[in-house]
Amino acid sequence: MIKGDEVRAAAAVVAGRVRRTPVLQAGPRTWFKLEYLQHAGSFKTRGMFHQMMAAGTLPGAGIVAASGGNAGLAAAYAAGELGVPAEVYVPVTAPAVKVARLAALGARVVQVGTEYAEAYAEAVVHAAATGARFCHAYDDPDMVAGNGTLGLELGAQLDFDTVLVAVGGGGLVAGVAAALHQTAGIVGVEPETCTTLHSALARGRPVDVPVSGVAADSLGARRIGEIAFDTAVATGIRSILVDDRAILDARRRLWADYRIVVEHGTAAAYAALTSGAYRPAAGERVVVLLCGANTDPADLV
């Protein structure tokens, strides 16, 4: 797993490249970490900057990434800031708002397959053929360490007991755990239709799972990353599940109560509280990571 020292080193590398995102008190003992305000609309910008900058000089062919949307957006943004070309492979099911934003950020977009795993396979082949650097969306040490800077930042902003983190491939929850596991409990929240971490913990190893549902565009990895699984075992990360109805309700509540617009995968973390899937103990201080907002807000009206 990634160590705290690696996260602190990553913070020095990306300093000045990423935003320090605020926290909002949402209740007597509940806070939101507003990471959806990050450049390119998600936490993944932290990891992508670190992954690219830690590599040293990037090749003239630039970078290639595969993504359900957010990692690609982060890769496109970071590549543009660093002055290298980006090519992003996404499933044909990726939301139109994400595909349009990728193009606006200057990336060449290739749509292939119906799941992240299919886009990933094509991207790896293309990177090898062209000499571009492949930037993994979650299962890369530099990516995880960069994501972990969110946890490091949060720890300096608040005193709390527990963090609720949406889980797809696991790059965020692993980074947050690396930064915070000695001082806070880390709870991964997954849709019932995308159970990468939950299934891996049950089986004792990463396994392929079917993916579907409202949050599959951002939490639709077919298998938890090795780094995330090792981190979960080593640090005692818990996994809880929420259904699509709870996710939809939590997303609408965030808009109705706080005028916060997030994507369905992000809302999964809040759904753990609003649905009762996670019940804080008396006096427990809970932070919900709101990690991405690349969504179409039209259905919130």
Q: What is the pLDDT of residues 20-64, one digit of tens each?
A: 999 999 999 999 999 999 999 999 999 999 999 998 888 889 999
Q: Which pLDDT belongs to residue 99?
A: 86
What 3-state DSSP class applies to 125? helix
Q: What is the pLDDT of residue 157?
A: 98
- Percent of the chain, pLDDT > 90? 85
pLDDT score at 170: 97
- Find the mean pLDDT for residues 260-278: 97
The whole-chain average pLDDT of the chain stands at 95
d(CA 292, CA 37): 8
pLDDT-derived band at 189 (thresholds 50, 70, 90) equals very high
Asked if pLDDT for residue 73 goes beyond 90, the answer is: yes
* Tens-digit pLDDT profile for residues 242-256: 999 999 999 999 999
The radius of gyration computed from the CA coordinates of the chain, to the nearest angstrom, equals 17
* Phi, psi of 223, deg, nearest 5: -145, 140
220 pLDDT more than 90: no
Mean per-residue pLDDT, 283-287:
98
Average pLDDT for 176-190? 98
The DSSP string of 222-289 is SS--HHHHHHHHHHT-EEEEE-HHHHHHHHHHHHHHH-----HHHHHHHHHHHTSSS-PPTT--EEEE
- Name the pLDDT band for 98 (thresholds 50, 70, 90): confident
pLDDT higher than threshold 90 for residue 258: yes
pLDDT tens across 227-240, in order? 999 999 999 999 99
Q: Averaged over 286-293, what is the pLDDT? A: 97
Whether 107 contacts 86, CB under 8 Å? yes
| Axis crossing angle, helix 226-235 with helix 196-203, rounded to the nearest 10 | 60
**Domains by residue range for the chain, with CATH:** 4-43+140-300 (3.40.50.1100), 46-135 (3.40.50.1100)
pLDDT band at 124 (very low <50, low <70, confident <90, very high): very high
Q: How sure is the predictor about 218, in pLDDT bands with cuts at 50, 70 and 90?
A: confident
Percentage of the chain modeled with pLDDT above 70: 99
Q: Which helix (H) or strand (E) holds 190?
A: strand 185-191
Predicted local confidence at residue 194, as pLDDT: 96
Q: Give the pLDDT of residue 301.
A: 66
